[in-house]
């Protein structure tokens, strides 16, 4: 069932699974409230909900909760496909007194008859342990690697992770492309949100650099990383991510620092979301 935030992706997944499509239409009231209307009645069915919770995150989340509630009332069992899981980054109490938003959501979701959850490049896979049903994060890296191989003729390429947390992802992409990977040292001020990328001697002169991250939100991390890589002589900077949230002027901010091209998966719809991950999700669902 394609949720209102993921109509195209949900329909693609349904096609590949030969599944019926149950429509869930959203109406947004002038005060911002959402209302969901299902296209037909169901009872005791297995329903896959596809709903990415990208911005406006709270709106897409509440729509998801309404859908789970309606299906639970009809004694359906639910498989959740949440390609981008909003709030996945608030998975700990970083500063004293902070709510662990992800844990709060996991507790809420546990009140519905969810059998499995599938997500894509979840920010910190170990935090899937908050959910009391089996939850799995698919890696979009193979789809990203295929796209890069087909689309670009790169000169001396190297993969870069903007931070330590993304190093395994950059290494996985580097392995698929048969190139080296580099990890930058990024720090974020937990109070101001300001990002700093440590200055170090980077051996990227004359090379084409592929920066890979899970999420591009404001574009700040990528902009800072690109500035440094260009300073050390990178020839071309291609940026890729799974979840292109592209808040405000993220694309402009990155281009101003020298990003030559940006591409993302269609977990989140955006002008750069060119890599289709529906078949990766569908084949995982077939294996359940
Ligand atoms: C953080 O650890 C994530 O992996 C991303 O690097 C981060 O969310 C990107 O945010 P922004 O685009 O606002 O710098």
Q: What is the pLDDT of residues 252-274, one digit of tens each?
A: 999 999 999 999 999 999 999 99
> Which positions ≥6 away from 173 have C-beta within 8 Å?
141, 144, 145, 148, 159, 181, 210, 212, 240
Of ligand 1's atoms, which has the minimum distance to the CA of residue 217?
12
Regarding the beta carbon of 166 and ligand 1, being less than 6 Å apart is answered yes
* pLDDT computed for residue 243 by the predictor: 98
DSSP state of 19: P
Indicate the average pLDDT of the chain.
97
Mutate to test the pocket of ligand 1, among 213, 220, 253 (most ligand atoms within 8 A of CB): 213
The pLDDT of 18-37, averaged and rounded, is 97
The pLDDT of 161-185, averaged and rounded, is 96
186 labelled catalytic: yes
* pLDDT computed for residue 201 by the predictor: 84
Q: Is residue 196 pLDDT above 90, yes or no? A: no
pLDDT band at 83 (very low <50, low <70, confident <90, very high): very high
Handedness of CA 34, 37, 38, 39 (dihedral sign): negative
* pLDDT computed for residue 155 by the predictor: 87
Q: Is residue 46 pLDDT above 90, yes or no? A: yes
The pLDDT of 20-25, averaged and rounded, is 97
* pLDDT computed for residue 195 by the predictor: 86
Of ligand 1's atoms, which has the minimum distance to the CA of residue 123?
4
Span from the CA of 183 to the centroid of ligand 1 (angstroms): 14
The pLDDT of 181-192, averaged and rounded, is 91
The pLDDT of 75-82, averaged and rounded, is 98
Regarding the beta carbon of 215 and ligand 1, being less than 6 Å apart is answered yes
Regarding the beta carbon of 86 and ligand 1, being less than 6 Å apart is answered no
pLDDT band at 190 (very low <50, low <70, confident <90, very high): confident
Span from the CA of 287 to the centroid of ligand 1 (angstroms): 31
The pLDDT of 40-67, averaged and rounded, is 98
Catalytic residue among 186, 207, 224, 230: 186
Task: Identify the weakest region by mean pLDDT among 140-144, 194-198, 210-214, 242-246.
Answer: 194-198
Q: How far apart are CA 49 and CA 79, in angstroms?
A: 6
- Total residues belonging to the chain: 288
Q: Is residue 25 pLDDT above 90, yes or no? A: yes
The pLDDT of 61-66, averaged and rounded, is 98
| Burial bucket for residue 95 (CB in 10 Å: 0-12, 13-18, 19+) | exposed
Span from the CA of 245 to the centroid of ligand 1 (angstroms): 10
Q: Is residue 246 pLDDT above 90, yes or no? A: yes
Of ligand 1's atoms, which has the minimum distance to the CA of residue 221?
14
3-state secondary structure of 202: coil
pLDDT band at 86 (very low <50, low <70, confident <90, very high): very high
Q: How far apart are CA 70 and CA 238, in angstroms?
A: 43
Distance of CA 103 to the CA centre of its chain: 18
Q: Is residue 188 pLDDT above 90, yes or no? A: no
pLDDT band at 175 (very low <50, low <70, confident <90, very high): very high
Span from the CA of 173 to the centroid of ligand 1 (angstroms): 18
DSSP state of 126: G
Cis geometry, peptide bond prior to residue 174 (ω within 30 degrees of 0): no
Q: Is residue 194 pLDDT above 90, yes or no? A: no
Q: Is residue 197 pLDDT above 90, yes or no? A: no
> Which residue, among 152, 167, 251, 168, has the nearest Cα to 208 in the 3D structure?
152
Of ligand 1's atoms, which has the minimum distance to the CA of residue 216?
12
pLDDT band at 23 (very low <50, low <70, confident <90, very high): very high
Strand pairing report for 186-188 and 180-183: unpaired
Regarding the beta carbon of 157 and ligand 1, being less than 6 Å apart is answered no
């Amino acid at each position: 069932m394609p949720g209102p935030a993921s109509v195209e992706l949900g329909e693609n997944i349904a096609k590949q699974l030969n599944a019926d499509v149950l429509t869930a239409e959203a109406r947004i009231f002038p005060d911002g409230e959402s209302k969901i209307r299902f296209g037909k009645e169901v009872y005791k069915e297995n329903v896959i909900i596809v709903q990415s919770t990208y911005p406006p995150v709270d709106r897409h989340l509440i729509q998801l909760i309404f859908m789970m509630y309606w299906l639970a009332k009809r004694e359906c069992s639910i498989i959740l496909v949440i390609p981008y899981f909003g709030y996945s980054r608030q998975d700990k109490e970083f500063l004293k007194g902070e709510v662990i938003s992800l844990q709060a959501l996991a507790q809420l979701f546990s009140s519905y008859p969810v059998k499995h959850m599938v997500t894509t490049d979840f920010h910190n896979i170990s935090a899937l342990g908050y959910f009391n049903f089996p939850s799995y994060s698919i890696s979009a890296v193979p789809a990203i690697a295929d796209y890069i191989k087909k689309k670009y003729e790169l000169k001396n390429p190297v993969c870069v992770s903007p931070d330590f947390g993304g190093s395994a992802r950059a290494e996985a992409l580097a392995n698929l492309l048969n190139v080296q990977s580099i990890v930058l040292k990024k720090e974020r001020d937990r109070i101001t949100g300001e990002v700093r990328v440590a200055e170090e001697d980077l051996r990227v002169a004359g090379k084409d650099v592929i920066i890979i991250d899970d999420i591009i939100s404001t574009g700040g991390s990528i902009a800072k990383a690109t500035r440094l890589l260009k300073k050390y002589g990178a020839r071309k900077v291609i940026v890729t991510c799974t979840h292109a949230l592209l808040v405000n002027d993220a694309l402009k901010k990155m281009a101003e620092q020298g990003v030559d091209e940006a591409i993302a998966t269609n977990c989140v719809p955006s002008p750069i979301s060119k890599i289709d991950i529906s078949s990766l999700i569908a084949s995982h669902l077939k294996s359940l």
